A and B are shown apart, each in its own frame.
Chain A
C-alpha cells in the first residue's frame, strides 16, 4: 500500500471495509441508469483482467499479448460446461478458470524459452490461434454466430435468503467481491517473498538465477495464476452479456488490457485498477462521438508511453510530492 501514502495511516481492515462500502453504494448511486450499472460489471471484470496481466507483465516482466485467449478460454469453457455438460454455474466457472490456468501454463512453456519481442509475437500468435479455433470449431462453439441464451449464474442461498444474479446489481456485487478477494490475495502474494522473486526475475534474470531462483518455474507460476484470474473474469462474462461470440476474444482485446495496465501504472497493485476504471469509463463518455472505444485505447496507450512512463499512478504521485514535499 506504499503506493498511496494517504491510505497508510488507515488500518488495512478499515480500508477493505471502505472499499466494500463503495462497492455496495455504487449501484445505488447509479440506480437511475441500467446502462451504467452494466458498465460497473464491465469495470469489475476489466480490473481482474488488468490485475492478472499486470502479474505477468508488470511484476514478472513477460510481455504477454495473449491475455484475451485466457479470458476466452474461461468464458467458453464455463459456458460449454453449463450448456453441454449440464454443470451448475459455480462448478463450471471454477473448472473454466482452472482450464484457463492450464492454458496459461502451456503458453508459459514458450515464455520460458523466449524473451521480449519473440515472446510478444508468440503470445500474440497464441491468441490468434485460439480466436481461429473459436471461429472454426462450429460443432462446439457455433462459430462466428456465437452461443445465445446463456443463463445468469445459479442463485445461491445465503442466511436463508435466495440471491439471484439475473440483474446487473447483484451480478456486480458478485464480480466485485471476487475482484476484491483477488486483489487481497494477489497483494499478499506480491508482498511475500514470492513477489520479490518475480520482481527479481523481471529486473535481471541472470542475477536472479545466480541467487538460486528458478526463473522458469516462477514464470510458469505467474502465467498460471494470471491466466487463472483472467479465466475467472471470463467465466462471468457470458452470463453478463447473454451471448458469446469469438470476436470478443480477438487479439485486439489483449491490447486493450495492455493499455489498462500501462495507462494505470505497470508493476503496481493500484495502477491497473486506475487504468481499468479510466479506460472503461472514458470510451463510454465519448460514445456520442461514435464508436471510439478502440481509438481511445490507441491514443491513451501511445501518449502515456511517451509522456507518462509510469502511468497515471506515478504522475499522480509526482504531482502530489511536488505539492506537499512530503517524505
Chain B
C-alpha cells in the first residue's frame, strides 16, 4: 500500500517540523528548570511576542524574514532578561518555591491579554518568503518547513556544544547538578541564572518567528504551544535536555498522526492523557538522570 506509506512519511515530516518548534520552546523550560527549579509560565508569551516582533519587523521595517528571526531572538532575550529582573531574582531572595510560579502565571495573563488589547483577536497573516512547495513523488513540504528544521536543529546543536564544551556551559551544568557546591566553587550563580533565562527566552522568541508562518499569529499562538511544551518537559524528564528533545519530537509526531486519524480537535486530549499516564507510571520522565524531589 504505497498510499499508506506516503501518508506515513508525509505525517512524519509534518510531525518532525512541529516537533522541532516544540523542542525549541520546551528546551528553554527545561534549561530554566535545571538551573533554578522554576517554571516560567510566561514562556508562552515570549513565543507569541517573538512572533509579533518578527511580523512587525517584516511588515513595518521591511526587513528580510531571515533577519526577523534574529529580531525575535533579541525580543525574546530582552523579555527573558526583564522577567528575571522583576520576578525571578527578587523572589529567589525570599526562597519560596511556588511564588515565582504563581507570579509568572500573573505575568503570562498580563502579557497575553495586553497583546490581545494591542493586536486584537484577528489572526495576522504572516507570510514567509519561503513558501514554495518541495515535492518528492506524492510527498510535499514547504521550504519554510525545511528552514524550521535547519534553524531549530542548528540552534539545538549549538546549545548542546555550548553546554558541553564552553566554560560557561560547564558552569551552567554544575549549577543544575548542585547549586550550593557550584556556588562554593566560585561560580557566579546570579549571572548564570540570568544568562540561562535569556538564552531560553531567546529560543522561545525564535520559535515564535518560525511558528508565525506555519500556524496563524494571534495573541494566543504561544499558549497553544506552551501547554504541549509543559507536557514535553515532563514526558522527557524535567531538566534533562536529551529527554526533552526526544519527547518534543514524539509529541510532534503524535500530533501529526492524531490529526490524520482522529481529527485535530482531540490533539490536546491525546497529548495530555499521555502526560497523565506518564506521571502515574514513570513520573521521572523518559530519561531520568538526576534525583527528583518533586515526585
Q: Which A residues are within 8 Å of any B CB, using their own CB? A: 63, 109-110, 113-122, 124-126, 128-129, 132-133, 135-136, 251-252, 255, 258-259, 262, 290, 292, 294-295, 297-303, 305-306, 309
Q: In the assembled complex, which residues on chain A have CB atoms less than 8 Å from the CB atom of B9? A: none
Number of chain B residues close to chain A: CB under 8 A: 46
Smallest CB gap from A302: residue in B: B106
**5 further A-B pairs in the complex, CB-CB below 8 A; given A124-B230, A300-B106:** A118-B238, A120-B39, A125-B227, A295-B117, A303-B106
Beyond A122-B275, A302-B110, whether A113 also contacts B283 by CB under 8 A is yes
Report the minimum CB–CB distance from A246 to chain B (whole Å): 12
Q: Which of A119, A132, A251 has the most CB of B within 10 A?
A: A132
Q: In the assembled complex, which residues on chain B have CB atoms less than 8 Å from the CB atom of A126? A: 272, 276
Binds A, one of B63-71, B95-103, B152-160: B95-103
Asked if B110 and A295 make an inter-chain contact with CB atoms under 8 angstroms apart, the answer reads: yes
Asked if A258 and B105 make an inter-chain contact with CB atoms under 8 angstroms apart, the answer reads: yes
Tell whether B293 is near chain A: CB-to-CB under 8 Å: yes
Q: In the assembled complex, which residues on chain A have CB atoms less than 8 Å from the CB atom of B295? A: 113-115, 118
User: How many contacts A-B (CB < 8 Å)?
Assistant: 133
Asked if A301 and B109 make an inter-chain contact with CB atoms under 8 angstroms apart, the answer reads: yes
Q: In the assembled complex, which residues on chain B have CB atoms less than 8 Å from the CB atom of A113? A: 279-280, 283, 295
Tell whether B146 is near chain A: CB-to-CB under 8 Å: no
Report the minimum CB–CB distance from A127 to chain B (whole Å): 9
Smallest CB gap from B99: residue in A: A305
Asked if B230 and A136 make an inter-chain contact with CB atoms under 8 angstroms apart, the answer reads: no
Smallest CB gap from A294: residue in B: B113
Q: 5 smallest A-B Cβ distances: which pairs?
A: A298-B109, A301-B106, A298-B110, A302-B106, A305-B103
Would you list which residues of chain B between 33 and 52 have a CB under 8 Å from chain A? Answer: 33, 37-39
Tell whether B61 is near chain A: CB-to-CB under 8 Å: no
Contact partner of B294 among A114, A300, A302, CB < 8 A? A114
Helix, strand, loop or mixed for chain A's interface? helix
Beyond A121-B230, A122-B275, A290-B117, whether A128 also contacts B268 by CB under 8 A is yes
Smallest CB gap from B109: residue in A: A298
Asked if A301 and B268 make an inter-chain contact with CB atoms under 8 angstroms apart, the answer reads: no
Contact partner of A118 among B90, B91, B269, B294, CB < 8 A? B294
The complex places the Cα of A169 from the Cα of B98 at a distance, in Å, of: 39
Q: In the assembled complex, which residues on chain B have CB atoms less than 8 Å from the CB atom of A262? A: 102
Report the minimum CB–CB distance from B263 to chain A (whole Å): 9
Asked if B230 and A125 make an inter-chain contact with CB atoms under 8 angstroms apart, the answer reads: yes
Smallest CB gap from B275: residue in A: A125
Asked if A132 and B266 make an inter-chain contact with CB atoms under 8 angstroms apart, the answer reads: yes
Tell whether B114 is near chain A: CB-to-CB under 8 Å: yes
The complex places the Cα of A12 from the Cα of B112 at a distance, in Å, of: 44
Report the minimum CB–CB distance from A30 to chain B (whole Å): 28
Per-residue A-contact encoding for B198-227, CB less than 8 Å = 1, 0 else: 000000000000000000000000000001
